[in-house]
Each structure stands twice: as C-alpha cells, then as structure tokens.
Amino acid sequence: MVDEFSSFARMPKAAPESMNLAEVVKDATVLQRVSTRDIDIDVDVSKADFVFLFDRRLVTQAVTNLVKNAAEAIDGRAHKDGLERGHVLVEAGIEHHVPFIRVTDNGVGLPKENRNRLSEPYMTTREKGTGLGLAIVKRIMEEHGGRLRLQDAPSGIGARVTLEFSRLPEPLLVASA
Ligand SMILES: Nc1ncnc2c1ncn2[C@@H]1O[C@H](COP(=O)(O)OP(=O)(O)OP(=O)(O)O)[C@@H](O)[C@H]1O
Ligand SMILES: [Mg+2]
C-alpha cells in the first residue's frame, strides 16, 4: 500500500472543498508516471474540467492506490515477452451528472473468485500486499457518498476499476467546454 494511511482505522474523514476534478486526477498521476517508466500511464481528463466538492487528499490517495494496483497487475503478467506493453489508462469525467474516475489496465485481470470481497480489508492475492489498498479506496468513496466498481477491462485483458461520486445537482458548474 502507498503511504500515510498505514492504519486503516486512522483514515481521516473527508473534508470536501471545491476542486477541479481534471487537475486533481492529473496531479495524482504525475509521480507514478515518472516512476513507472516501463509502463505507459495515459491520462484523459478532457471531460473532467469542472468543479465540485470533494477531498483532494483522499481522492489523490484513491487514484494512487488504483494506479499502483494496475502497475502491479501488469508486473504480474506471466510471460512478459511477446506481450503488449504495459498500459494504464486513467480517465475522469461525468456521466448522467455522476462524476467518475476510471482506471483500466492490461494486467493479469481480477481474480475470478471472491471478486466482490477484494475491497474488504486484508483481502490480498499478493505476497507482499496488505490488502488495504482497495479497502481504503472503498472507504474514501463512501465518505464521498459514492462507490467503487470492479470489472474486467472491456478488451477482455486486464481490469477496470471505477470510482463513482454522488450525483451532482443541476446546474453543474463546468469550468470550460
Ligand atoms: N488492477 C488490478 N488487476 C488485478 N487484480 C487487482 C487489481 N486491483 C486489485 N486487484 C486484486 O485485489 C486484491 C486487493 O487489492 P488491494 O489494493 O486491496 O490490496 P493489495 O494490492 O493486494 O495490497 P496493497 O494495496 O496493500 O499493496 C489484490 O491483491 C488483487 O488480487
Ligand atoms: Mg493495492
């Protein structure tokens, strides 16, 4: 797990502020993009240039945990030779007034069994995992009145994890088109 909430129980309550989703998601991926040179981490926040209330620090932590999982899933692929290059796509936007962040990878894919338990604390399939990464993400989304969704990547190879915030009341404050 990355960082400061090493104790799940110590996780702070959300302190929402008006934040631009595109900026926060872009900033959240900067460090991982430079530290993971063998994997392409693409970010598409072109539909996320709007402001709503969320906790920047917690959402940054959530994105960090998801990108770390994606990178580890790519490292876990059995025969690296002859495989497509590791690729992580981080997207953010809004659909039906629900802001979302979505991380798609071409790694090993989610385990077939106990999938709905992966976000429980201490559920891990990794030797060195704490199993807290997704539990923290889930808690963060609950703090925001939202949820966490785990799916197969649409290509059939890899995983897709989506964070959905609570639906925004109209009119939405869109910073630019
Ligand atoms: N992108 C992904 N691709 C495939 N499996 C995943 C992915 N993300 C999570 N998982 C599965 O969910 C499990 C739980 O993830 P979680 O982040 O909670 O813990 P962890 O990654 O194992 O440990 P830690 O986050 O402490 O390093 C992982 O062990 C893995 O089996
Ligand atoms: Mg993890």
Query: How far apart are the C-alpha atoms of 140 and 58, rounded to whole Å?
Result: 6
CA of 23 to the centre of ligand 1 (A): 26
Average pLDDT of the residues in 77-93: 84
pLDDT at 171 (0 to 100)? 62
Q: Does the beta carbon of 157 lie inside 6 Å of ligand 1? A: no
pLDDT tens string 119-164: 999 999 998 999 999 999 999 999 999 999 999 999 999 999 999 9
Q: What local confidence, expressed as pLDDT, does residue 82 receive?
A: 67
Task: List residues bridging with 148 in a β-sheet.
Answer: 163
Give the distance (Å) from ligand 2 centre to CA of residue 155: 22
Q: Taking residues 91-106, what's their average pLDDT?
A: 97
Question: CA 153 to CA 157: how far, in whole Å?
Answer: 6
Confidence of residue 177 (pLDDT cuts 50, 70, 90): very low
Contact 101, 59 (CB under 8 A): yes
In a 3-state reduction of DSSP, which class is residue 99? strand
* pLDDT top residue among 171 and 117: 117
| pLDDT(70) > 60 | yes
Residues with CB under 5 A from ligand 2 (ion): 69, 133
Non-local (6+) Cβ contacts of 82 within 8 A are none
For a pocket test of ligand 1, which of 106, 124, 138, 139 has the largest count of ligand atoms closer than 8 A to its C-beta? 124
Q: How far apart are CA 71 and CA 66, in angstroms?
A: 9
Model pLDDT for residues 41-67, shown as the tens digit of each residue: 999 999 999 999 999 999 999 999 999
Q: Which of 63, 64, 59, 74 is nearest to 12 (CA)?
A: 59
Q: Look up residue 127 and give its two tokens.
A: 């030797």
Environment class of residue 24 by beta-carbon count within 10 Å: exposed (0-12), middle (13-18) or buried (19+)?
buried
What value does the mean pLDDT of the chain take?
90
- 71's tokens: 């990178």
- Ligand 1 atom showing the smallest separation from residue 125 Cα: 29
Task: Report whether 159 contacts 109 (CB < 8 A).
Answer: yes
Distance (Å, rounded) from C-alpha 35 to C-alpha 2? Answer: 13
Confidence of residue 111 (pLDDT cuts 50, 70, 90): very high
The three-class DSSP label of residue 77 is coil
Instruction: Retrieve residue 21's tokens.
Output: 């989703």
